Chains A and B, each alone.
Chain A
Amino acid sequence: MHQTIPQQIVIDCTNLTTREINQKLKALASEGISTKLLNPAGRHNLAVGITQNIIISIAGPVGYYCGGLSDNINIEVFGDCGWSVGENLMSGNITIHGNASANAAASAHGGKICILGNAGPRAGISLKGATLIVSGNVGYGSAFMMQQGCMIVCGDAGANLADSIYEGAIFVGGEINSLGADAKLELMNDTDWQLLEQELSAFNISARDYNFKKVICAKRLYHFKAKDWGNY
């Protein structure tokens, strides 16, 4: 089923079940062999739950939860991806050369998820420490309940950005449709620009080309008081 090229194994997904593909990936990860997946055909749950270092290149669009629940992985997808790419990622890199649907990097604890295109609604929802970079726009309700980490959006952000955020920072290069409850704009400082330059230079994006704005938690609603009801 798979042909061996030096240092890389090619797996054709066509006649394999998702479980078979993921079991193969886990076995290859334990041996430290890099892998290329052909014909993913928008399939869900690819490269999920892999906890050892592996480089996976996916040639084509993937479905939901790609790379989710993984640790120490390196995935590159050459195509669009469905909901919740990199959900609960612990560490590693996931790069999407295409657009992402809803919930990109949902509750990701660590590592870096890069969408070189647009991301849909609720990008970075409940982000718990990972870095999410989107070179295009993000949709409605992005960074909802974000708890830690960093989200960088070069394009525009949809309505209700950073609603009920706890900690962390969101940088938006384009227009922000509206901020959610308890989110506020903060002045950019030199450290912020350094961070952006450092993170974006890897994708040949110059941070200074964008008018980045920083969004953080206003911390007015940290403790619930009945008189604040209207602010929620």
Chain B
Amino acid sequence: MCGIAGIIYRQPELYKNLGIDLLQLIQPLETRGPDSCGVGIYSNSVSHNVKILLFATEQVAWEEVKKWLQNQVQVIKFDVIGSGRRIIIDTTNQALDLAEFKHHLATHFPQIHLMSIGHLLEIYKEVGTAENLFQKYQLKDFSGSHGIGHTRMATESVVDTYHSHPFTSAPDLCLVHNGQISNYYKLRFFLEKKSIEFETNNDSEAIAHYIRYQLLQGFSLEQALQNLLNDIDGTYTFLVATSDKIALVRDKFAAKPAVIYETPEMIAIASEYRCFLSLPHYNPNAKISEPDAGEIKIWSTNNTQQRTFSNQRDSVLTLGSWLIANS
């Protein structure tokens, strides 16, 4: 069991409520996941700015990280946040080479973990309660267009900050997952052969990498998720967020729960119905529904129309046959 939750607003006036709404939505789900809590928040940003969240539990020579960054790009902010740093860079004149940055971190500061990077995305996660997490990073004050959250009950890997959700695999992309991936090792082996580096032993990380890999192949998010339904085996209900979308995917057996709350103002998704009752502006007339087995739902911030896809389709990608051929 784990708890997942997501919010996407239909009206920009409500963006200011994101932090508090997300906390209210995720907190009841601690009964499903007492180990850790995490959120991925998409908050307002200047278009040429990129936010980088770095995390480390050990001593780090942060000044050297800052110096290296300043040599590459224009650093606007380098704030202490918890035991990490929240950095804002201006990429107007010079873009950050993400691969090189990651390589530099891995070689010179292996103790630093890249929590998130993107124009909008900020990921905060930690072992312990939602209340602690929100207090520590003052997340209640966060505003934004959409966000996802997770409470974890560990089944597959250790309980620590790195193995907590959300998982990210690309700028402005993050994922929260409830379930288990049955073909995790094959999937991981396949992705590692494509030069994708795994940072944890959590099976959910593989889903995030799989989606990134699919997007890099030129598939749209919709197509990527349809391929995923055929390629990823196991039980899963997950939310994946991008700079302007939240997608909900439920496996073909509908093994893990999700409930959708829909009003003219917002859409909220949670593992259990009771979470919606604690929303500060709970609307008793909201449309309540559940995704079907093998269903994909995608909501976007600029176009609040929802798009739904069903699963009845054969695998179009090589992974399915590759997995069989290599099993």
Contacts and interface: CB of A to CB of B under 8 A. Distances in A.
A100 to B, nearest CB: 10
B293 A61 contact: no
Interface in A101-125: 101-102, 120-122
A41 B278 CA distance: 10
Contacts of A43: 274
Contacts of B259: 101
Interface in B207-232: none
Contact of B273 (A80, A102, A122, A139): A80
B273 A61 contact: yes
Contacts of B294: 140
B292 A139 contact: yes
Given A80-B288, A82-B272, A121-B293, A140 B253 contact: yes
Given A139-B293, A158-B293, A159-B293, A102 B257 contact: yes
A158 B273 contact: no
B153 to A, nearest CB: 15
Given A120-B254, A141-B253, A42 B272 contact: yes
A101 B289 CA distance: 9
Among A42, A43, A158, the one with the most B-chain Cβ atoms within 10 Å of its Cβ is A42
B326 to A, nearest CB: 23
A42 B273 contact: yes
Nearest to B275: A42
B293 A101 contact: no
A121 B273 contact: no
Nearest to A40: B274
A79 to B, nearest CB: 10
B272 A120 contact: no
Interface residues of A, number: 18
Contacts of A141: 253-254, 293
Interface string B33-63: 0000000000000000000000000000000
A36 B138 CA distance: 42
A189 B253 CA distance: 33
B254 A139 contact: yes
A41 B287 CA distance: 16
Given A120-B254, A141-B253, A101 B274 contact: no
A121 B290 CA distance: 10
A121 B259 CA distance: 13
Given A139-B293, A140-B293, A159-B293, A83 B274 contact: no
A86 interface: no
A101 B259 CA distance: 9
A122 B252 CA distance: 12
Contacts of A42: 272-274, 277
Given A101-B290, A121-B293, A158-B293, A140 B273 contact: no
Contacts, number: 43
Given A61-B273, A139-B292, A159-B293, A101 B253 contact: no
B311 to A, nearest CB: 9
Given A101-B259, A102-B257, A139-B292, 15 more contacts: A42-B273, A61-B273, A63-B274, A82-B272, A82-B273, A83-B257, A101-B290, A121-B293, A122-B254, A139-B254, A139-B293, A140-B253, A141-B253, A141-B293, A159-B293
Interface of B: 252-254, 257, 259, 272-274, 277, 288, 290, 292-294
Contacts of A122: 254
B16 to A, nearest CB: 27
Given A63-B272, A102-B254, A102-B257, A41 B277 contact: yes
13 contacts: A41-B274, A42-B274, A83-B257, A101-B257, A102-B254, A102-B257, A121-B253, A121-B293, A139-B292, A140-B253, A140-B293, A141-B253, A158-B293
A105 B252 CA distance: 21
A158 B290 CA distance: 14
B277 to A, nearest CB: 5
Contact of B254 (A41, A63, A82, A121): A121
Contacts of B290: 101, 120
Contacts of A158: 292-293
B293 A63 contact: no
Contacts of A63: 272-274
Nearest to B294: A140
A141 B253 CA distance: 8
A134 to B, nearest CB: 15
Nearest to A101: B290
A140 B272 contact: no
A159 B273 CA distance: 25
Contacts of B293: 121, 139-141, 158-159
Nearest to A177: B312
A120 B273 CA distance: 14
Among B253, B273, B288, B294, the one with the most A-chain Cβ atoms within 10 Å of its Cβ is B273
A80 B294 CA distance: 23
Contacts of A61: 273
Contacts of B257: 83, 101-102
